[in-house]
Structure 1
């Protein structure tokens, strides 16, 4: 699945670049006026020798988002060169345009971190490429490059970047090359993840176009540890050129107890139905965790475990009852924790130490919601409340000693609190309007909730 995703994504991008080049090549005239070459010595564009436009052969097919687009082989140029800038090369620019004066092809792309990953453009040996760097549409620099007959492969960048710190321990590692490398050289002997001299077992995934290799460790990395991605000179391109010297890039993982990548979990319909997603706390790197676990229904109410390794959530497959599920933050290890014919409701909640999960269910009375607690592996289910009214949406205090919840014991919904063993339940609100969805402050001194007491739903504390 991961390899298919890579193949579809990079093929779609490559084909888009190539077809844009063909289209633009029919209508773009030679630039008028002299080309500014004053920046040439300070720029660092890497231009490779021409290689096959479709390294794996056959027609191009995009599998991204479940769709497919077939591009006939005849419509794709026979050979392309790749142009790239390492990160930090051109920090003043935000985009790049490349014009081949020989065949009049043109491609463009945005820059990130002052660089750009390999961009293919139709070309032949000896063609002149005019590279223009832009910011907000205005030229900031340009240079000319002649397409060489040979160019050894190099590393454009790695992810994590060199000397990066606080790298999440569930990270995958990626190496981006200046041009496609051969599948026979993308091997564990030539591409290794090291902790000191120890080789970390990992799976290598080569992208469709051969310009990227993802290194997927078999286990989480250790906290507060220094790792290196190490490449040998056995790495070779499609023309037989080899990496000129060994390459190494070090990074350091986060300290013990820090969040993994994807510090926020959420529900989204961006893939077509309600699924569970995870992303970094700045909104970057969204990753879909569930894939049709609730076919025709919904997955909702995710909660990240205190150690950041797992996500608990509710799912409702069409025609079945709600269940509580657990999944690892990398999308593996999906487990049904409840597997009960009754309703096991929304919004499961972790205890602060991650050992238990509270939830509400109708398993003892089909017409009555009650709050239960179970071990984090689904064993040891205990009923905490026993009342003719509905008790739901529990949340643990930061010290784990109390549980707040909502209940309609007074006719309307109010916020109650009880000890973690279910004893001593008592009301915190007694307003005639509904008060629901409690949430503790980090220090445990306050509880936020939503209420209809002013005529519409608002947040109170």
Structure 2
């Protein structure tokens, strides 16, 4: 009886022990697996619903520059084959990489999948191949998934989310999962603010989730997707990329390279920064430029061309762009103060004048180029080598503006010089003894009135004075800039050139001319090229 009671007690205790074991762990594992399966199914379902889709087969379609960009050194490590695009990297004692960029911007939720095969790793150090996506947010997040070989020959898939911290890119947020596959699919999916990292091993169509990170919902950069192979030490890798597939709420392509923007005429109101397009080139032409106001501010003359002086035409219009009139062949026009005559340049014919209706054409200097009428009407000026010729309109006497000493301080003087509104000074672009370009001011009849205001490696020819006769508007690449911009600078000693802030970032702004009353500036401009929606073509 006692033995039976002890047996029952053992059974009871065992039953209690079993019932109190953490059975939930097993249930949680099953539930977690089920949840992951459901999550991947939901990701796949959403992917199928995305309206913007791009698919590329490397074996059939190669590397068209419309979609892909890579440096020369990267291209040297790539090879087009029947089975796809081979990417190789051989480290030489330090981190070495081969990179290929796919030029798309992804907006909203997205999926990026890259198929690979023929993966080979050599050497004891780290090697990896994978894809990364650059997000255009404050921290410049880059989610990345790599099929990698770690130290001690561990085969893994590595996931990371790098970011900018204190000006430096931090790669601390990364983890690995086992992966032996030498072919398969790497996938990055974003839903809302979450990035999911997935891999399909070998020939299976089933993805497994290997990580997820919190990111942002911001658009990616315009050239967002990168294929990357990297190795350290003496390690090397080789992989064959076969396909890339994008699916997103929106896909944008960057503007095509090498396309010249259409340059129209814009008028800027200084008081409120209002910017208004007043004229655009006629059909078949690509740009308007060299605009100049009449002395009463009611008329604008300019040139119009296909991009060169051989096709250039002289245009006259009202200040609002109406009554657009073609006056004939020529470029860089300048109106007399009474508005009755125009002086301009003609290829092969030099400095020429005509009536403002296009009649009575006369050549005044067959060797001259780039001329401007003084606001007081007393002189016509044009560049002559490293000097400026001044023609007295009453006596026809010609004099040189710069002294021999001043000539030594300038190189070749360029066209489209600018008179001050009081006709006392001329500003112009010239070369410099140091091989750069410089913005120079010289006073009429005053040898001491000579200043080099600004020096740049990239400067446009056309310059103009503000109404105060002290500040100049010009186009140049400023010291802290990445492109040529409209800028102002004062004649005051030690003055610093400043970007004309009323012009939007990224705009092309050339050939400025300020109105005599100081209220407006007309310039040839174009907004920055915009990306286009991907339509599947």
TM-score interval, smaller chain: 0.3 to 0.5
- The structure whose Rg is larger is 2
Q: TM-score, normalised by structure 1?
A: 0.36
Q: Which has the higher contact order (CA 8 A, sep 6+)?
A: 2
Q: TM-score, normalised by structure 2?
A: 0.31
